[in-house]
Amino acid sequence: MEKCGVLIGKTNDELNDVTLCKEKELRELVEKYSQQHIFGHWDKLSKEQKAYLLNQISKIDFELMKRLTEIWIFNTPKPEVFNQIIPIPVISLNSSEDSREKEAYDCGEETLKLSEVGLFMVAGGQGTRLGFDKPKGTFPIGPVTKKSLFQYHAEKIINIQKRYNIELPWYIMVSETNELDTKNFFEQNDYFTLKKSNVIFATQSMVPCLDERGKFMLESPYSIAMNPNGHGGTIQTIIEKGLMEDMENRGIKFLSYFQVDNWAVKVADPRFIGYHVLNNAEMSSKIIRKNSLREAVGVHCICDNEYRVIEYSELDIYPQLLELNPDGSIKFYAGNPAMHIITIGFVKKVYNRFKDFPWHRAHKKIPYIDDSGNLIKPEKPNGYKFETFIFDALRYTSHHPVALEIQREGEYTPIKQLTGENSIESARKSMTKMWAKWLKKSGYNMDEYIAHREHYIEITPVFALTEEEFLKKSRNFNWQIPSTSFAIDEQGNLITT
Ligand code: UTP
């Protein structure tokens, strides 16, 4: 067997030998933390499988898992107590009359033209609620064109690059579970005509799931059930996976952070960037007005002088957050749609606090292998996944960050499931409504069309990213609006199914 240690220039087989060399050391570690059951099928494993398991073990932060077990499994964590919770100051939607609005927009455009903005998209999630077995970004969201979510985001980038004559680097956080499929999808689609060197993937870390006794679970005889460490992993990934160096080499100062599953998201929005820059903010957020007291979105607020986002599942712990204003409106209305501008200096600063980030626990149905090697698919939650959240970085800002109110339509269509709230279906309806309004403003009678609820519209962001751009370009066309679903392509051709 090879001597342990030197990895460079080795074949896979030799690498496996190097990993196997660590068996004794890793077994001791696993025993120290009472997780030795994960070697239960060891004798039946092939050399590759043994190496796979040992490799997984070598990446686990056992001290962290011990801490999580003590906090969450052997005890019930006490909720934080706050003496005072107050609403955050918000730049509201009607501030368009405000003279700063134009100043912010111009400043944002200037920042973009200086190539100081990069895009950071989180796409490492498991997308369990959607039940789609490929990365969520590959979902054919376009009802007519079947274009994927990835392609839609790419088309927005194509438009912005052309508009400002810039190159926008697109950082994409993936996880071990979807990395290969995501990269292959970009390859197969020729990076949607973007420059390959401007699409930068980085893989976030994974954490083991725990069963209800705090034990690791095997998802196969040779692999531990793990999940990506949450979108808070952004901070760690930027620093530890070499993205910060890439950003600095490109002169990037600000990141436009968004989630892959928000089809409508305005990436690199000049207005948002501008407010962030003018306020010298470290991390800014867009906010949506909650449409009900208990809407399932986090709430931005200030708790004992610290900026926080409180999860909707914690509303009953902090009943102040359910208070109404004297006129009956929601007092803490600032819902979190997960869109941020982050100064890269702040990423460095907050990385030093990453170990203090709270871990959030979710009780889930986690398939596992039993002692006889049978795969069990539980019918009710049987274990826990632990994640960090990006919005927990907000508490480390040194002055109160910008919170910019937005309208949902045209900006917020999260896709969590196939039908119902926050679904493929609701996103398609919302986008159709917005694009129908654009057409109506261009002089087309869309009333009958909109009444047909099963019809959808798509307008590629390469043709028009904004209503203003659409109104300008549409003057050159005289479309015959069909009585079926339709799309408008890059050249302005109207396509039906
Ligand atoms: P969600 O928390 O909605 O999770 O992620 P999800 O994976 O999309 O779906 P479920 O909960 O399993 O059904 C919000 C965004 O954060 C990303 C997701 O890819 C999505 O864009 N994310 C989430 C990560 O990048 N990494 C993670 O560890 C978790």
Looking at the structure, tell me whether residues 431 and 333 fall in a common domain. Answer: no
**CB of 176 closer than 6 angstroms to any ligand 1 atom:** no
Q: Would you say residue 75 lies in a domain?
A: no
Averaged over 36-44, what is the pLDDT? 96
Looking at the structure, tell me whether residues 218 and 351 fall in a common domain. Answer: yes
Q: Would you say residue 77 lies in a domain?
A: no
Q: Would you say residue 208 lies in a domain?
A: yes
**CB of 125 closer than 6 angstroms to any ligand 1 atom:** yes
For the ranges 70-84, 208-222, 249-263, the lowest mean pLDDT is seen at: 70-84
Q: Which of 132, 134, 231, 313 to mutate to test the pocket of ligand 1 (most atoms within 8 A of CB)?
A: 231
- Tokens standing for 171? 């950082």
- Of all residues in the chain, the percent with pLDDT exceeding 90 is 90
Averaged over 396-424, what is the pLDDT? 94
Which of 361, 378, 405 is a domain's end point?
405
Q: What's the pLDDT score for residue 77?
A: 85
Looking at the structure, tell me whether residues 49 and 108 fall in a common domain. Answer: no
Q: Place 157 in a pLDDT band, splitting at 50, 70 and 90.
A: very high
Q: Which residue has the tokens 């107050």?
A: 86
Number of domains in the chain: 3
Higher pLDDT, 93 or 228: 228
Query: How many Å lie between the centroid of ligand 1 and the Cα of residue 230?
Result: 7
Specify the residue with its C-alpha closest to ligand 1, atom 15: 259
Averaged over 490-495, what is the pLDDT? 97
Q: Place 376 in a pLDDT band, splitting at 50, 70 and 90.
A: very high
Q: Which atom of ligand 1 is nearest to the CA of 124?
A: 25
Query: How many Å lie between the centroid of ligand 1 and the Cα of residue 319?
Result: 28
What is the SS3 assignment for the chain?
A: CCCCCCCCCCCHHHHHHHHHCCHHHHHHHHHHCCCHHHHCCHHHCCHHHHHHHHHHHHCCCHHHHHHHHHHHHCCCCCCCCCCCEEECCCECHHHHHCHHHHHHHHHHHHHHHCCCEEEEEECCCCCCCCCCCCCHHHCECCCCCCCEHHHHHHHHHHHHHHHHCCCCCEEEEECCCCHHHHHHHHHHCHHHHCCHHHEEEEECCEEECEECCCCECEEECCEECEEECCCCHHHHHHHHCCHHHHHHHHCCCEEEEEECCECCCCCCCHHHHHHHHHCCCCEEEEEEECCCCCCCCCEEEEECCEEEEECHHHCCCCHHHHCECCCCCECCCEECCCCEEEEHHHHHHHHCCHHHCCCEEEEECCCEECCCCCEECCCCCCEEEEECCHHHHHHHCCCCCCEEEECCCCCCCECCECCCCCEHHHHHHHHHHHHHHHHHHCCCCCHHHHHCCCCCEEECCCCCCCHHHHHHHHCCCCCCCCCCCEEECCCCCEEEC
Q: Which of 149, 236, 238, 261 to mutate to test the pocket of ligand 1 (most atoms within 8 A of CB)?
A: 261
Q: Would you say residue 235 lies in a domain?
A: yes
Looking at the structure, tell me whether residues 293 and 399 fall in a common domain. Answer: yes
Q: Would you say residue 417 lies in a domain?
A: no
Query: How many Å lie between the centroid of ligand 1 and the Cα of residue 381?
Result: 19
Q: What's the pLDDT score for residue 14?
A: 67
Q: Would you say residue 64 lies in a domain?
A: no
**CB of 262 closer than 6 angstroms to any ligand 1 atom:** no
Q: Is the pLDDT of residue 15 over 70?
A: no
Tens-digit pLDDT profile for residues 318-344: 999 999 999 999 999 999 999 999 999
CATH number at 384 reads 3.90.550.10
**CB of 383 closer than 6 angstroms to any ligand 1 atom:** no
Q: How far apart are CA 494 and CA 113, in angstroms?
A: 32
Q: What's the pLDDT score for residue 144?
A: 97
Specify the residue with its C-alpha closest to ligand 1, atom 18: 125
Q: Place 18 in a pLDDT band, splitting at 50, 70 and 90.
A: low
**CB of 268 closer than 6 angstroms to any ligand 1 atom:** no
Q: What's the pLDDT score for residue 217?
A: 98
Query: How many Å lie between the centroid of ligand 1 and the Cα of residue 125?
Result: 3
Q: Decide if 103 contacts 276 (C-beta within 8 A).
A: no
Q: Place 450 in a pLDDT band, splitting at 50, 70 and 90.
A: confident
Q: Is the pLDDT of residue 3 over 60?
A: no
Q: Would you say residue 412 lies in a domain?
A: no
**CB of 364 closer than 6 angstroms to any ligand 1 atom:** no
Query: How many Å lie between the centroid of ligand 1 and the Cα of residue 205?
Result: 14
Looking at the structure, tell me whether residues 268 and 380 fall in a common domain. Answer: yes
**CB of 149 closer than 6 angstroms to any ligand 1 atom:** no
Looking at the structure, tell me whether residues 178 and 227 fall in a common domain. Answer: yes
Q: What's the pLDDT score for residue 2?
A: 39
What is the SS3 assignment for 368-401?
A: EECCCCCEECCCCCCEEEEECCHHHHHHHCCCCC
Looking at the structure, tell me whether residues 14 and 51 fall in a common domain. Answer: yes
Q: Is the pLDDT of residue 96 over 90?
A: no
Q: Beta-carbon neighbour count of residue 445 at 10 Å?
A: 9
**CB of 124 closer than 6 angstroms to any ligand 1 atom:** yes
Specify the residue with its C-alpha closest to ligand 1, atom 6: 127
Instruction: Give strand pairing partners of 170.
Output: 119, 199
Specify the residue with its C-alpha closest to ligand 1, atom 8: 127
Looking at the structure, tell me whether residues 150 and 235 fall in a common domain. Answer: yes
Mean pLDDT taken over the chain: 94
Looking at the structure, tell me whether residues 34 and 110 fall in a common domain. Answer: no
Q: Is the pLDDT of residue 237 over 70?
A: yes
Q: What's the pLDDT score for residue 1?
A: 36
Looking at the structure, tell me whether residues 252 and 330 fall in a common domain. Answer: yes
Domain that holds residue 53: 1-59
Q: Would you say residue 80 lies in a domain?
A: no
**CB of 255 closer than 6 angstroms to any ligand 1 atom:** no
**CB of 126 closer than 6 angstroms to any ligand 1 atom:** yes
Q: Which atom of ligand 1 is nearest to the CA of 416?
A: 13
Higher pLDDT, 258 or 16: 258
**CB of 347 closer than 6 angstroms to any ligand 1 atom:** no
Q: Decide if 121 contacts 390 (C-beta within 8 A).
A: no
Looking at the structure, tell me whether residues 29 and 137 fall in a common domain. Answer: no
Q: What's the pLDDT score for residue 5?
A: 47
Looking at the structure, tell me whether residues 352 and 468 fall in a common domain. Answer: no
**CB of 208 closer than 6 angstroms to any ligand 1 atom:** no
